[in-house]
Structure 1
């Protein structure tokens, strides 16, 4: 069940996890302690936590009046004609989601038109045309003057290359890297992040995650390319990244219609990838103890829910006697009782409006 309290704790936990993800990717020390395997698990838990902001059967309700009471009172403040601030926020949220979907659909249509333009003037090849003894998926390759840099057209499972002369070694490294993007379904990860950005358009940390996910996907593809090669060969791979970037910069003109499609790269991304390669971090694993600790995050983050707590006037804390008061008792088993002038009776269900009007005493 999704409640205001479960959404609140989801946003808090997600903010912490996203900040950790950001710090690892932007601080060199982070790459020494946390490897690609840790980042992969962390991204999975972030997406899982944000997509499922619900209370679990094992969730424990913890009264936290200092923070939750002011939030609850603000959300339920009536502005006019029984319209609460919460109602306006929900309407604004849904309106923002609608606008985001409209923009996203419009960009997909524009992307399709650009894709068709590329196909009109391109040279079509296969990976096997460039790589000897290649036994992987033989994805299609489109070479076009409208492409600014090597990229993946994930929905079509094809690779786009600019019309630039690359050496044999450069082509090998480029194609292996882009092929791993396709096999890892990175394009769909990007779409999941985009969907979350549309849903949580008002949540600033989600944009931090969106901005850094490209670097993570590039690092993960690099790690798979050099998984079985020596440290010396990884240095050659790093040299390829630099030489390819130099050629792209020299050839870039205003006629290029794509900058990096849906899997983009910039100077910061390139710098971090080269640093990671030179340090040999791709061939290292995160400590098992650290990974084990991370596995407890989704369990612990769903184990408690913070809720408002209002202690009814007239309560005798020792005897739990209340005089001349109407309130609701929420029992540990999740059931409710209604108390009127000291007389208690069980109730099968609790109307949402009743919950808002009457104080709740939690056992």
Structure 2
């Protein structure tokens, strides 16, 4: 297993195709029973896995790229400026510096957001600890009219506003947030948030991050409502709408959206899609083990081929010639023509048996002596 520019570029191209597929499938989510949150979850996990592990493996087959990758390599090796006689700054060096610089800034901001969450979590005392569905949960009730959310990774806390919801609505909200915790969705969110920092230069990453949030929410909805009847599903959707309105009223929720989950979204299109999925009765029929198995198999298959820039190995290069009009010519020798490459005699042909691929090479009667 090793990382190369070729494997990295190949995986980026492959991920673009996967992301396009995710976009296309999401258009039919809630409208077609053929497309479920599990299907999207599989492709999204594959997308993340390929970004985290863009390596060549023992089973990887390499195919030559004769145009694109050699051109990219040549461009990256282009020397922008020479500082000293033996030190030159290439385009790849400049790009690497810019990447590290922006990455550092974004990472510092992310760490600050996480520290803010940690500081906020200290407000949750032992008195906020409750027992719900055989789970011990930390819940922080706040006076502000903010949307319900779950924050933290190692010690998750559910944040609920006081006096905003009925007991039934609280039950639905707690079930939703508890499922996020049980599914380790906060870990997943932190992983792809960190990936978006590493791949900050790729606009597809930001599009994926937004879609991934929606996929996780729909998957949690499906887990929560799998035993609900129609009336209970409508209750759940009404709670989503109520929370969405609350979120629209509070535009200044102070946490970075990459470090917590909201119960609902203020986006009407996302809310409509989630409502369609809930009311259509889609269920998650695949177990975690089967999901992981499918993802591993797909990753194995998707990493089976990469493209390498075409190049001749040294051993072959030492016994071959690059023949062109610039370094080759024929010299008439009786009824034959002798071919010279780089000033060295190579082979003789009869005048009427010169190969067609060599017909453009210059023919002279004699070699002029100096």
RMSD of Structure 2 on Structure 1 (CA): 3.4
Q: Does the alignment pair 1:24 with 2:30?
A: no
- Structural mapping, 1:248-287, within 5 Å: 248=246, 252=249, 257=254, 262-264=260-262, 265-267=265-267, 268-282=269-283
Query: Helix, strand or coil: the match of 1:173?
Result: helix
Question: How many Å separate the matches in 1 of 2:310 and 2:52?
Answer: 27
Q: Does the alignment pair 1:87 with 2:88?
A: no
Query: Helix, strand or coil: the match of 1:236?
Result: helix
Consecutive unaligned residues of structure 2, counting only runs of 5 or more, are 83-87, 324-343, 345-370
Question: How many Å separate the matches in 2 of 1:64 and 1:187?
Answer: 40
Residue in 2 aligned with 1:36? 37
- Once the two structures are superposed, residues 248-291 of structure 1 have per-residue CA deviations (whole angstroms, 9 ceiling, x without a partner) of 269x45786459662143323322211111222236779xxx99
Preserved CA contact (<8 Å) 1:170 1:244:
no
Q: Does the alignment pair 1:169 with 2:168?
A: yes
Preserved CA contact (<8 Å) 1:148 1:257:
no
Cα distance change of structure 1 residues 253 and 8 upon mapping to structure 2, 3 Å threshold: closer
Residue in 1 aligned with 2:102? 96
Cα distance change of structure 1 residues 173 and 90 upon mapping to structure 2, 3 Å threshold: same
Question: How many Å separate the matches in 2 of 1:322 and 1:257?
Answer: 67
Residue in 2 aligned with 1:215? 214
Question: How many Å separate the matches in 2 of 1:292 and 1:191?
Answer: 23
Preserved CA contact (<8 Å) 2:185 2:216:
yes
Cα distance change of structure 1 residues 31 and 125 upon mapping to structure 2, 3 Å threshold: farther
- Structural mapping, 1:133-212, within 5 Å: 134-146=132-144, 148-155=146-153, 156-212=155-211
Q: Per-residue deviation at 1:54?
A: 0.7
Question: How many Å separate the matches in 1 of 2:252 and 2:214?
Answer: 26
Q: Does the alignment pair 1:237 with 2:236?
A: yes
Question: How many Å separate the matches in 1 of 2:90 and 2:167?
Answer: 65
Query: Helix, strand or coil: the match of 1:138?
Result: strand
Cα distance change of structure 1 residues 274 and 253 upon mapping to structure 2, 3 Å threshold: closer
- Once the two structures are superposed, residues 83-119 of structure 1 have per-residue CA deviations (whole angstroms, 9 ceiling, x without a partner) of 2212222222222221221121222233344445x55
Preserved CA contact (<8 Å) 1:146 1:255:
no
Cα distance change of structure 1 residues 303 and 187 upon mapping to structure 2, 3 Å threshold: same
TM-score normalized by the length of structure 1? 0.74
Question: How many Å separate the matches in 2 of 1:278 and 1:12?
Answer: 36
Preserved CA contact (<8 Å) 1:197 1:206:
yes
Q: Per-residue deviation at 1:160?
A: 0.6
What is the count of residue pairs matched by the alignment?
A: 308
Higher share in helix: 1
Query: Helix, strand or coil: the match of 2:33?
Result: helix
- Once the two structures are superposed, residues 7-39 of structure 1 have per-residue CA deviations (whole angstroms, 9 ceiling, x without a partner) of 001101111112222333344577532212212
Q: Per-residue deviation at 1:138?
A: 2.5
Bigger Rg, which one:
2
Q: Per-residue deviation at 1:142?
A: 1.1
Cα distance change of structure 1 residues 174 and 321 upon mapping to structure 2, 3 Å threshold: same
Q: Per-residue deviation at 1:212?
A: 1.7
